[in-house]
Structure 1
Amino acid sequence: MAEIIQRRKLYQEVLDRLMDRIRSGEIAPGDQLPSERELMEVYGVGRPAIREALQTLERSGIVEIAHGERARVVVPTAQSLIAQIATGAMHLLRTQPDMLEHLKSARLFLETGIARMAAEQATDEDIARLQMRVVQQRASMVDLEQFLERDMAFHREIAYISGNPIYPSIVESIFRWAGEYYRPMVRAPGAEELTLAEHQRIVDAIAARDGDAAAQAMHAHLSRANALYGKLIHT
């Protein structure tokens, strides 16, 4: 059978060559790329192909482009990489509501394990920071947006204790992606006090270095929130 050779656009060829230079370390994280004019001369293509290649790299989170400056290779972090899919993730949740259940299940699995790890690894300083997160959240009960932000900060703090830099970024991202479904739960009568009490039980278990209790407290907290959401959307 004949094999059809697909014609590639010029910008894709430019993109491949730039990616090869970035992967090889010739252009390292933090370095600027050559100017558009230099790239045009090196690759023998017009400005549209160069700009489309650079814009593709920017959308992928590989370079950043500031007005009037040459593109610069981004120093990657877990947070910046995960943030790249934020818009798509939120669009997915809005257009395919069933995916929310999968996201909640993933969060339950992830944070239960993280709570166990935190109990096994927490220092006295870690526990003091966690306790302060609870205090700060209680102080924000009059402000819904601030209460939500401090709720997220509490869960992110537990993820930091795990020592894995990817976990805090994932925890925060999931929280923000599903932010629309958290708001009605926080507004429910008595929800703030219940959340704070559950957070305190998680802190107490971590402070006792009891991994099983910490995992159980986190599982109960997130399961209760999921069940409450189910009731709210059907009332």
Structure 2
Amino acid sequence: MKETPQFKVRKTYEEVADYLKDQIMNGAYKPGDRLPSLREFSELLGVGQSTIREAISALKTMGLLTIRHGEGTFVTRFDPEEVLTGFEPIQMVTEEDILSLLEARKIIETGIVQLASERRSEEDLRRIEDALREMEAAVAAGDLGKQAQADWNFHYAIASACHNAVLETFMQSVSEMMRKTLKASREKLFQSKGTPERLLTEHRDIYMAIANRNSKKAEESMLYHLLGVEKQVFDQA
């Protein structure tokens, strides 16, 4: 029987991921099982759907979950114990490695945003807008943690809107590596005077291009945004 945790306060995606991982490891969800929907999990655990989405993404990167578009999220058919044993976080520490990661992000995300502009549904657009609203609220409140989370939600929502499972997987992998290797740089980025407001403006431009189905403008806006982030990361190094 699946246990329902009694969350007294809003939990982070890491804590939700740990809970779901434990459920998988103790057999509550078996290989091949379909997980409840984001909405069901959100109601069950008392957290937002964006938190559930990021927890699922983290477990997908670990190899515990598989996302099948149009079907749902499933526990991988591999042995979870074996997957966890073989999983080692990627550690990138050199400037060359970081540059390679940022280059990969530019290539992947400019392509993703082009497809998202052409393929996005109204529901996709709402998810992107929701993430943008989260970012606006976080910037207004000066909450660095929520700004970083909203930033990730925004880019992941765009990846989902391109409706290409392979590109979405690439995006998840790149995002996970970014989180592990550039955590300190990203924190400094959000702390720099005027940077949160500038990043918010850039995200608004990307959103408007997607909303208007202007793929060329979306690509240009995304590239401009990522080049700015890259420059600031290395200026701070």
The interval holding the TM-score normalised by the smaller chain is 0.5 to 0.7
Distance 1:208 1:81 in 2: 32
Please report how far the alpha carbon of residue 161 of structure 1 lies from its aligned counterpart in structure 2 after TM superposition. Answer: 0.4
Distance 1:158 1:97 in 2: 28
Question: In the alignment, is the contact (CA less than 8 A) between 1:78 and 1:166 conserved in 2?
Answer: no
Structure 1 match to 2:190: 186
Question: In the alignment, is the contact (CA less than 8 A) between 2:114 and 2:216 conserved in 1?
Answer: yes
Structure 2 residue aligned with 1:221, among 202, 209, 225?
Answer: 225
Q: Secondary structure at the match of 1:186?
A: helix
Distance 1:72 1:112, change over 3 A: same
Structure 2 match to 1:148: 148
Structure 2 residue aligned with 1:208, among 196, 205, 212?
Answer: 212
Distance 1:133 1:196 in 2: 11
Structure 2 match to 1:176: 176
Q: Secondary structure at the match of 1:88?
A: coil
Structure 1 match to 2:61: 82
CA RMSD of aligned residues (A): 2.8
Question: In the alignment, is the contact (CA less than 8 A) between 1:86 and 1:177 conserved in 2?
Answer: no
Q: Deviations over 1:15-51 (max 9, x none)?
A: xxxxxxxxxxxxxxxxxxxxxxxxxxxxxxxxxxxxx
Q: Which amino acid aligns with 2:106?
A: L
Structure 1 match to 2:136: 138
TM-score by length of 1: 0.62
Q: Deviations over 1:42-68 (max 9, x none)?
A: xxxxxxxxxxxxxxxxxxx9xx643xx
Q: Which amino acid aligns with 2:198?
A: L
1:11-160 superposed matches below 5 A: 65-66=25-26, 73=31, 80-84=59-63, 87-89=88-90, 91=91, 93-94=92-93, 96-141=94-139, 142-160=142-160
Q: Deviations over 1:134-170 (max 9, x none)?
A: 1111111221111101100000000000112343343
Distance 1:176 1:122, change over 3 A: same
Distance 1:144 1:78, change over 3 A: closer
Distance 1:114 1:198 in 2: 16
Distance 1:200 1:70, change over 3 A: closer
- The more displaced of 211-220 and 172-181 is 172-181
Distance 2:104 2:191 in 1: 24
Distance 1:112 1:131, change over 3 A: same
Structure 1 match to 2:74: none
Distance 2:123 2:60 in 1: 29
Larger radius of gyration: 1
Question: In the alignment, is the contact (CA less than 8 A) between 1:108 and 1:219 conserved in 2?
Answer: yes
Distance 2:57 2:167 in 1: 9
Question: In the alignment, is the contact (CA less than 8 A) between 2:202 and 2:225 conserved in 1?
Answer: yes
Structure 2 match to 1:13: none
Distance 2:33 2:204 in 1: 37
TM-score by length of 2: 0.62
Q: Gaps spanning 5+ residues in structure 1: where? A: 1-60
Please report how far the alpha carbon of residue 79 of structure 1 lies from its aligned counterpart in structure 2 after TM superposition. Answer: 6.2
Question: In the alignment, is the contact (CA less than 8 A) between 2:124 and 2:160 conserved in 1?
Answer: no
Please report how far the alpha carbon of residue 172 of structure 1 lies from its aligned counterpart in structure 2 after TM superposition. Answer: 3.5
Please report how far the alpha carbon of residue 72 of structure 1 lies from its aligned counterpart in structure 2 after TM superposition. Answer: 5.1
Q: Gaps spanning 5+ residues in structure 2: where? A: 1-20, 35-55, 64-85
Please report how far the alpha carbon of residue 217 of structure 1 lies from its aligned counterpart in structure 2 after TM superposition. Answer: 0.5
